[in-house]
Amino acid sequence: AQRVTQPEKLLSVFKGAPVELKCNYSYSGSPELFWYVQYSRQRLQLLLRHISRESIKGFTADLNKGETSFHLKKPFAQEEDSAMYYCAPSAGGSYIPTFGRGTSLIVHP
């Protein structure tokens, strides 16, 4: 069965500290990996996708196929990074994402 695990419900850091939001997945085949973000009172939106090898707002995510992980990282957290983050692997012809339960990131000043 497809499963995605975000072990931390809440992650609290101070501004300027490094941050890592963990994501582990269990999927048949080779899924595509995505991170979505929801800022306070805003819509859910795509943050980044593995296939594009992109860095968005200073965030990067490395795929580790051996550990089946896709952790989201940022070297220096900013207050505006405070949000809910969802890891979402997807597979199949329509690439419908399976969302984790989310990690709430709070960056303190």
Partner 1 sequence: GAGVSQSPRYKVAKRGQDVALRCDPISGHVSLFWYQQALGQGPEFLTYFQNEAQLDKSGLPSDRFFAERPEGSVSTLKIQRTQQEDSAVYLCASSLSTGPLNEQFFGPGTRLTVL
Footprint of partner 1 (CB under 8 A): 32, 43-46, 49, 51-52, 86, 88, 90, 93-102
- 68 or 90: CB nearest partner 1: 90
In whole angstroms, the minimum distance from the beta carbon of 98 to partner 1 comes to 7
**Cβ(25)–Cβ(102) below 8 Å:** no
In whole angstroms, the minimum distance from the beta carbon of 22 to partner 1 comes to 15
In whole angstroms, the minimum distance from the beta carbon of 76 to partner 1 comes to 26
CA–CA dist 31, 67 (Å, integer): 14
- 85 or 107: CB nearest partner 1: 85
CA–CA dist 59, 78 (Å, integer): 11
In whole angstroms, the minimum distance from the beta carbon of 96 to partner 1 comes to 5
- 77 or 102: CB nearest partner 1: 102
- 94 or 109: CB nearest partner 1: 94
**Cβ(6)–Cβ(100) below 8 Å:** yes
Region for 26 from its dihedrals, namely left if φ exceeds 0, alpha if ψ lies in -120 to 50, beta otherwise: beta
Q: Coil, strand, or helix at residue 109?
A: coil
